[in-house]
Amino acid sequence: MTVEVERLYKLDSDKPLKAFADVVIGDVLVKSLRVVEGEKGLYVTMPKSQGKDGKWYSTVSLVDKSMHSALQSIVLEAYNS
């Protein structure tokens, strides 16, 4: 399955959120992944939406951990280039 970054929008901020990315996985476009700087470095989070209860919930989840790892590598490579 092919994975490629469709769009990457870097933010110029001192906050932990560093960028938004849209990624194509096969024939599916996943919008609004986030590149975040944490205590252990940069990582990628899936899109989220706020529920009526005020909590945030993931709108996309990857079941296969190796797919998540590959996706994170591809997005961080695009962010760093």
pLDDT for 8 equals 96
Q: Amino acid letter at 1?
A: M
pLDDT of residue 2: 85
> Which pLDDT does position 33 carry in this prediction?
95
Q: CA angle, 71 as apex, 54 and 29 as ends, to 5°?
A: 70
Which pLDDT does position 61 carry in this prediction? 86
pTM of the predicted model, to two decimals?
A: 0.85
Q: Tens digit of pLDDT per residue, the chain (81 long)?
A: 788 999 999 998 899 999 999 999 889 999 999 999 999 999 999 999 999 999 999 898 888 888 889 999 999 999 999
DSSP string spanning 12-60?
--SSSEEEEEEEEETTEEEEEEEEEEETTEEEEE--EEE-TTS-EEES-
Closest alpha carbon to 81 in 15, 13, 5:
5
For the domain bounded by 3-80, which CATH number is listed?
Answer: 3.30.1120.40
